[in-house]
Structure 1
Amino acid sequence: MTDVAVVGVGLHPFGRHGDKQALLMGAEAARAALADAGAQWSQVQTAYVGSHEVSNPDAIVGWLGLTGIPVRGVFNGCATGGTSLQMAAEAIRHGEADVAMAIGMDKHPRGAFAADPSVLGLPSWYGQTGMFLTTHFFGTKATRYLHDHGVSAEALAKIAAKNLRNGSITPHAWRRKPLTPEQILAAPVVNHPLTQYMYCSPDEGAAAVVLCRADLASKFTSTPVYLRSSVLRSRRAGAFDVNSPSMPLDGAPSPTVDASKAAFEEAGLGPDEIRVAQLQDTDAGSELIHMAENGFCKDGEQEQWIAEGATEITGKLPVNTDGGLIANGEPIGASGLRQVYEIVLQLQGRAGDRQVAGDPKTGYTHLYGSPGASAVSIFSR
């Protein structure tokens, strides 16, 4: 199988950008990634562009250049970024292209994420009565997990505080004001046990990645980062409700468990060999649950990990070193590629004040998207 390297990454900062179009943000992120790779758009032979809000993301070629290459639109919930990365890598592995790009952008309205239940074949009342409100879903899921595994709400506050603290030293982060765990616990409750600052918020932004055949990487950069594995898995049981897909149901694991195991097997690595990770933190409870689902610890061990600072930038497994979704917000199509942007900077030693010490050589990204898809990618120097 052809090896794939990441040779350039680019980011349009996440936040609120007035009337600026999502497509333009995506084009700026793509140009930044190309500049990072020392490449031209004319060298790109295929691209996968992810967005929730933009129905024709292939229109990005209007800003990048009408070169006639295949450009495919991608949407897979919050797993969109990982899906577009995987598809771009597969295009290289299967000989469709020597150089490919994954691009993501979105421009979400203010307020909690909601979704159209009819997309999933559910009755309209399901959403109208609040059953599909994401804050409700994640709050109830966290309540059950904390109860089942003896984890405290203080652990959630410490996760949120860590991510906001990391965001405060990340120049492109949206939320850059650190808060203490006590302040976070004292904030208004949105859905118990999650308070206002334990959630991410929808926002706007874009990110992009340039990939190529590994044997061509030296033409673009002296510090390539290799994509060791990129895996997508969907749920095996359950409808979209509080019991599924992020909780085991009828013996079926979360899709994150399946994706993580497959990614580690493909990469030939184990969880203890990962030096820095980006885990989906739509809320603090999600990051806590995903620590176990991705195999880094056992259910219930998170409290001790957090108390010991294991997931801090100085810890044994720094998690969400750029503040994750809690500090950056989530434009769905772009958030997974923002994770890749951060991991590549970390592995290349370019992360500035948030740089993980000890010359990290392996990195991990994880996404979870409703109603039950998970994407995991593993990188190495």
Structure 2
Amino acid sequence: MDVAIIGIGLHPFGRSPELTGQQQGANAVRAALADAGLQWKDMQFAYGGSQDGGNADALVNELGLTGLQFTNIWNGCATGGSSLHAAYTAIKSGEYDMGVVVGFDKHPRGAFNPKPSDWGLDNWYGESGMMLTTQFFAMKTQRYMHDHGITNDALIRVAEKAFYNGSLTSTAWRREALSYEQIANSQMVSDPLRKYMFCSPAEGGAALILCNADIARRYTRKPVLLKAAAVRTRHYGSFEVFSPSQPMQVADAPTVTASKAAFELAGIGPQEVDVLQLQDTDSGTEVIHMAENGFCEHGEQEQLLRDGATRIDGAMPVNTDGGCLANGEPVGASGLRQVHEICVQLRGEGGNRQVPGSPKVGYTHVYGAPGISGVNILTV
């Protein structure tokens, strides 16, 4: 049995001071329902999550008290991918024919700086500054650049592409294209990552309506098939967020195992993917994730970026809506925004940012603390 996405909805990312996080999530659900020509009462289940925007199940107060199963899911920045995986398996099992996945958030300004005790860590880890995610990602990027010959040029090009793509996306937060020079000369935050190489905590909501693919064409002429959904956690030796020590033997990241599992489940390889969404919490993570997801060898990113391979009209378009760098990251919604964008591309509705050549296969990847990756493969 295949699973289909028949409705997509997005509340614009950025800042919406007049709305709560839950209201932004509800707006995204209403948009997804309208896209599918359905009503809230038609939903048999819901999965959703939020970090700072409130309980996802409380959306029933906004949408209607219908008695459906609603399960809250929280997996850091991988919340959206994890919620989608839960919905995918619920339909694949045959228990349900139709439901909704939703994510939303409303974060305060400033970098994420969680408490060590919430993650099973002692206070010294936070006192060293490593709970501040800008510090960890910079350290990880430094190590990767050293090991694989990546230069600052690659980091700048990732950000330049992201802001250009964001300028073409009406729902993005950062809609001003920035030049190579503006990015290269921006304030250093955590070496080697500069001001415009980081995403920002944000607000927004995203929702998807899923159903058994056998009935999908009752609701849309453009169903998108969710051919694979995989979520994996870290191994001993993975170099991950909130790792208080590092073994001498380094293991693969969860992204590697999640990606391999998804490709095996879908029965395709990386070379068949037409458009990608990769977690880009910062420029360095996009570079790393290009290889960890199997789209190139470690160290090849430098030349691929220089050649424009990851641009909208390139051989492997990455983050066509600007990714996290241009959209910001409302944690609960970010992974579902990725899937929303892939659906837009596969449906041929991207407008100025549409990937040429009628893409048929899309890929999304989300990564969350303390080392969780979710990968989805979609086709038309």
Contact 1:88 1:100 (8 Å CA) reproduced:
yes
Gaps of 5+ in 2: none
* Residue-by-residue CA offset, 1:254-278 (whole Å, 9 max, x unaligned): 0000000000000001000000000
Distance 2:111 2:25 in 1: 23
3-state SS, counterpart of residue 9 of structure 1 = strand
Q: What code does the residue aligned with 2:134 have?
A: T
Shift of 1:96: 2.1
Shift of 1:19: 4.0
3-state SS, counterpart of residue 119 of structure 1 = helix
Q: What code does the residue aligned with 1:48 have?
A: Y
Match of 1:313 in 2: 312
1:192 matched to 2:191? The reply is: yes
Match of 1:233 in 2: 232
* Residue-by-residue CA offset, 1:13-33 (whole Å, 9 max, x unaligned): 000111411111100000000
1:104 matched to 2:103? The reply is: yes
1:218 matched to 2:217? The reply is: yes
3-state SS, counterpart of residue 338 of structure 2 = helix
Distance 1:298 1:65 in 2: 49
Match of 1:83 in 2: 82
1:126 matched to 2:120? The reply is: no
Match of 1:263 in 2: 262
3-state SS, counterpart of residue 47 of structure 1 = strand
Distance 1:265 1:249 in 2: 30
* Residue-by-residue CA offset, 1:263-302 (whole Å, 9 max, x unaligned): 0000001000000000000000000000000000000000
Shift of 1:53: 1.3
Larger mean Cα displacement after TM superposition, 262-271 or 107-116: 107-116
Distance 2:324 2:291 in 1: 18
Shift of 1:319: 0.1
Q: What code does the residue aligned with 1:163 have?
A: A
Distance 1:243 1:149 in 2: 23
TM-score by length of 1: 0.97
What pairs up with 1:50-69 in 2 under 5 angstroms? 50-69=49-68
TM-score by length of 2: 0.97
3-state SS, counterpart of residue 207 of structure 1 = strand
* Residue-by-residue CA offset, 1:135-156 (whole Å, 9 max, x unaligned): 0001111111111111110110
Shift of 1:251: 4.3
Structure 1 residues 248 and 128 mapped into 2: Cα distance closer, same or farther (>3 Å)? Answer: closer
Structure 1 residues 242 and 77 mapped into 2: Cα distance closer, same or farther (>3 Å)? Answer: closer
Q: What code does the residue aligned with 2:90 have?
A: A
3-state SS, counterpart of residue 136 of structure 1 = helix
Shift of 1:243: 9.5
3-state SS, counterpart of residue 320 of structure 1 = coil
Distance 2:82 2:186 in 1: 35
Shift of 1:238: 4.4
Percent identity between the two aligned chains:
57
What pairs up with 1:280-299 in 2 under 5 angstroms? 280-299=279-298
Q: What code does the residue aligned with 2:69 have?
A: P
Shift of 1:123: 1.2
3-state SS, counterpart of residue 271 of structure 2 = helix
Match of 1:5 in 2: 4
Q: What code does the residue aligned with 2:130 have?
A: M
Shift of 1:116: 1.7
Match of 2:139 in 1: 140
Distance 2:256 2:216 in 1: 32
Q: What code does the residue aligned with 1:11 have?
A: L
Match of 2:278 in 1: 279
Match of 1:42 in 2: 41
Q: What code does the residue aligned with 2:6 have?
A: V
3-state SS, counterpart of residue 175 of structure 1 = coil
3-state SS, counterpart of residue 84 of structure 2 = helix
Distance 2:87 2:238 in 1: 30
Distance 2:208 2:27 in 1: 12
Contact 2:156 2:180 (8 Å CA) reproduced:
yes
Contact 1:89 1:100 (8 Å CA) reproduced:
no
3-state SS, counterpart of residue 18 of structure 1 = coil
1:167 matched to 2:161? The reply is: no
Q: What code does the residue aligned with 1:227 have?
A: L
Distance 2:53 2:243 in 1: 28
Contact 2:237 2:250 (8 Å CA) reproduced:
no
1:178 matched to 2:177? The reply is: yes
Contact 2:237 2:247 (8 Å CA) reproduced:
no
Structure 1 residues 249 and 30 mapped into 2: Cα distance closer, same or farther (>3 Å)? Answer: farther
Contact 1:154 1:181 (8 Å CA) reproduced:
no
Distance 2:248 2:151 in 1: 23
Distance 1:94 1:275 in 2: 29
3-state SS, counterpart of residue 298 of structure 2 = coil
Contact 2:365 2:374 (8 Å CA) reproduced:
yes
Q: What code does the residue aligned with 1:110 have?
A: R
Q: What code does the residue aligned with 2:341 have?
A: E
Match of 1:359 in 2: 358
Match of 2:32 in 1: 33
Gaps of 5+ in 1: none
